[in-house]
Amino acid sequence: MLSQEDRTLLTVENLDVHYGDLQALHNVSLHIPQGTIVSIIGANGAGKSTLLGAITGLNKPTRGKITFRNEDISGIHTHDVVSKGITMSPEGSRVFEKMSVEENLLMGAYLSRARKKRKELLKRVYGLFPVLKEKSGQSATYLSGGQRQMLAIGRALMVDPEVILCDEVSLGLAPVIVKDIYHKIVEINREGMTFILVEQDVKRSLKYSDYSYVMVKGRIVMEGPSSQLPEGEVKDAFFGISKYA
Amino acid sequence: MEVLLQLVINGILLGGLYAMIGLGMSLIFGIMGLINLAHGDLMIISTYMSMVLALHFSGNVFIALLITVLVMMVVGFFCQSVLINRVLDKGAEPPLLITFGLSIILQNVLLLIFGADAKSIPTKLAAQNAITTPWFSISAIYLINFVISILVILSLHFIIMKTYFGRAIRATSGDVVASELVGVNTKRVYAVTMALAMVTASIAGLLIGMTFTYTPTTGTQYLIFAFGVVVIGGMGSLVGTLLGGIILGLAQMLGSYFFGMAYQLFFGYVVLLVILTFRPEGLFARTK
B203 close to B20: Cβ distance less than 8 angstroms: yes
Instruction: Write the single-letter amino acid at A3.
Output: S
- Nearest Cα residue in chain B from A108: B182
* Region of residue B236 (phi > 0: left; psi between -120 and 50: alpha; otherwise: beta): left
- For B169-196, how does the pLDDT look when each residue is reduced to its tens digit (9 = 90+)? 999 999 999 999 999 999 889 888 888 9
Query: Contact B182/A159, CB-based, under 8 Å?
Result: yes
Q: Of A82, A95, A99, which has the smallest distance from its Cβ to B170's Cβ? A: A99
Q: How far apart are CA A39 and CA B48, in angstroms?
A: 62
Torsion sign (Cα): B212, B218, B223, B225: negative
Q: How far apart are CA B174 and CA B177, in angstroms?
A: 9
Q: Which residues of B touch A95 (CB under 8 A)?
A: 178
Buried b (16+ CB within 10 A) or exposed e, A209-219: bebbbbbbbbe
pLDDT at B287: 46
- For A150-207, how does the pLDDT look when each residue is reduced to its tens digit (9 = 90+)? 999 999 999 999 999 999 999 889 999 999 999 999 999 999 999 999 998 889 999 9
pTM beyond cutoff 0.80: yes
Average pLDDT, stretch B63-71? 92
- Chain A residues at the B interface, defined by Cβ less than 8 Å, are 56-58, 77-79, 82-83, 87-88, 90, 94-99, 103, 106-111, 115, 155-156, 158-159
Q: If pLDDT is split at 50, 70 and 90, which confidence band does A127 have?
A: very high
Q: Of B171, B177, B186, which has the smallest distance from its Cβ to A107's Cβ? A: B171
All domains of chain B, ordered by start, with CATH? 2-116+138-278 (1.10.3470)
**Interface size between A and B, measured as CB pairs under 8 A:** 70
**For residue A137, pLDDT beyond 80:** yes
Strand partners, A225: A211
Q: Which residues of A touch B174 (CB under 8 A)?
A: 96-99
Provide the shortest C-alpha distance from residue B91 to chain A (in Å). 16
Query: Measured between CB atoms, does B90 come within 8 Å of chain A?
Result: no
B85 close to B32: Cβ distance less than 8 angstroms: no
Query: Contact A96/B168, CB-based, under 8 Å?
Result: no
Q: Which residues of B touch A78 (CB under 8 A)?
A: 177, 180-181
Query: Contact A159/B184, CB-based, under 8 Å?
Result: no
- Candidate from A170-179, B60-69, B75-84, B169-178 with smallest mean pLDDT: B75-84
Query: Contact B170/A58, CB-based, under 8 Å?
Result: no
